[in-house]
Amino acid sequence: MIAGRYRLREAIGSGGMGQVWLAADDMLGRNVAVKEVTAPDSGHFATVRQSLREARSAASLNHPNVVQIHDILHTDRPWIVMEYVPSRSLYDVIVRDGPLSPRDAARVGLGMLAGLRAAHRGGIIHRDVKPQNVLVAHDGRVVLTDFGLAVREGGSGQAEALIGSPQYMAPERVRDGASTPATDMWSLGATLYATVEGRAPYQRETTPATLLALAGEPPDPMRRAGPLAPILLRLLERDPARRADADEVEQCLRPIAEGVPEPAERSPDEAALARLTRIQLAVASFVLAATATVAVLLAVGWS
C-alpha cells in the first residue's frame, strides 16, 4: 500500500528509471498505473528532480494521446500515479508481432503526432520519443508517455544532450543539445521507421557506431515502408530547417492511414495510348456535332 491509498498489484513495465505497477486506487475505486522511480543512491537527487519534471510536464497537458498524470508521492522514493492504459508498448508490438504494415504504421503515427502537437502547443519538448514510450491501447488509442526528459521550449537542455536513446535522437541534439519541436519530429520519423522496418534507421551494434552513423551517413535503405518512405526521409532530414513539420506529416500520413490508393504511374506506352484515346474522342465529338448541325440545316431547308 502506497500513501494509504494505492494498492500495488503487479508489475507491468520497467525501464532505466524504475518500474511501473498496475495498482488499485482504493479511494476512487479505479485502476491506475504507478511508476516507482528508482536510481542509484548517487543519483537520487537528480532522479527526484527528473520525476517531478516528468509529472509536471505531462500533468500540464490534457489530450487523449498523452498519458494523464493523477498524482505524485514521496516515500523513500518518488512515485508517479498515472492513468492506466490497458496496452502494449509499440516496442513490444514490433518485437512480438513483427513490423506493422504501412497503413497501420501511419495510423500509429497520426496518434503520436497528435500527442506531440498537444505537447508543442503547451511549450513542451518531449525529447525521448521512441517505441518504448508509445503505448498502443487495446482499443486502438495511441498514447505518448514518459516525459522524464521533457523540457520547456526555449529552456536549456545542453547539460543533458546525450540522455536518451541515440538510435532515436536527432543529429542536432547529439551535436549541440538542441531541443525544439523539430528534434521531436526527427524522433517521430525514426520511431515510424522502426515501426514499419523493424529496426531504427541508424541501428548499430554499439552506441559509438550508432552516433558515428548518425553524424554523417544516410538512413539505412527501406524495404517495407512503401508509401511511407518519402515522408520518413523528409522527417529524417539532417537539417532541421528542411525537415517535415507537423502539417506536412499529417497531410502525408492521413491518406495512407485511410487506405486512399495513390494514382498509378503510367508507362510511356500507356500514356501515349491515353493521349490517342483522348484525340479519338475529340474527333468523334466533332464529327457528331458537325453531323447534327448538317441535319438541322437540311431540316430547315426542307421546311
| Model pLDDT for residues 135-160, shown as the tens digit of each residue | 999 999 999 998 878 888 875 544 45
- Helix, strand and coil percent figures for the chain, each rounded to 5: 50, 20, 35
Grade residue 59 by pLDDT with cuts at 50, 70 and 90: confident
Domain boundaries, the chain: 6-83, 87-257, 267-303
Q: Which is nearest to 131 in space by CA: 198, 81, 185, 44? A: 198
Which SS3 state, helix, strand or coil, does residue 70 take? Answer: strand
pLDDT at 45: 58
Contact 163, 149 (CB under 8 A): yes
* Cell numbers standing for residue 139: 482499443
**CATH code for 87-257?**
1.10.510.10
Instruction: Give CA angle at 130 (127, 133), nearest 5°.
Output: 90
What pLDDT is stored for residue 299 in this prediction? 56
Surface-to-core class of residue 158, CB atoms within 10 Å of its CB (0-12 exposed, 13-18 middle, 19+ buried): exposed
What was the pLDDT predicted at 57? 76
204 by Cβ neighbours in 10 Å (0-12 / 13-18 / 19+) ranks as middle
Strand partners, 135: 89, 143
pTM of the model: 0.80
Catalytic one of 25, 76, 97, 128 = 128
Distance CA 197, CA 199 (A): 6
In terms of DSSP bridges, do strands 30-37 and 18-25 run parallel, antiparallel, or are they unpaired? antiparallel
* Cα–Cα distance measured from residue 57 to residue 149, given in angstroms and rounded to the nearest whole number: 10
Q: What is the pLDDT of residue 283?
A: 54
Q: Does the structure show a pLDDT above 90 at 237?
A: yes
Over range 22-51, report the average pLDDT.
78
DSSP state of 238: S
pLDDT at 111: 98
Which pLDDT score is estimated for 75? 80
Q: What is the mean pLDDT of residues 196-213?
A: 94
* pLDDT (0 to 100) of residue 27: 93
CA distances to 275, 277, 282, 284, 291 from 288, in Å: 20, 16, 10, 6, 5
Greater confidence (81 vs 163) lies with 81
Q: How far apart are CA 258 and CA 161, in angstroms?
A: 37
CATH code matching the domain that covers 6-83, chosen among 3.30.200.20, 3.10.180.10, 1.10.287.130, 1.20.1370.20: 3.30.200.20
Is pLDDT larger for residue 14 or for residue 299?
A: 14
pLDDT exceeds 50 at position 266 = no
DSSP 258: T
> Under DSSP, is residue 81 helix (H, G, I), strand (E, B) or coil?
strand
Give 239 or 271, the one with higher predicted confidence: 239
Bridge-partner residues for 83, per DSSP?
Answer: 32
Are 71 and 28 in contact by the 8 Å Cβ rule? The answer is no
229 three-state secondary structure: helix
**Predicted confidence band at 272 (pLDDT cuts at 50, 70, 90)?**
low
Please report how many Cα atoms fall inside a 13 Å half-sphere around the Cα of residue 197, on the Cβ side. Answer: 22
Q: Identify the top-confidence range among 11-15, 192-196, 294-298.
A: 192-196
Q: Is the pLDDT of residue 197 over 80?
A: yes
Backbone Cα Rg of the chain: 27
Provide the mean pLDDT of the chain.
Answer: 84
Residue 176 annotated as catalytic:
no
94 — pLDDT class (breaks 50, 70, 90): very high
pLDDT of residue 29: 95
Angle between helices 246-257 and 181-197 (to 10 degrees): 20
CA-based end-to-end distance of the chain: 105
Which among 87, 188, 79, 178 is positioned nearest to 129, based on CA atoms? 188
pLDDT, average across residues 112-128: 95
Other Cβ atoms less than 10 A from the Cβ of 90: the count is 25
Mean per-residue pLDDT for 257-262? 79
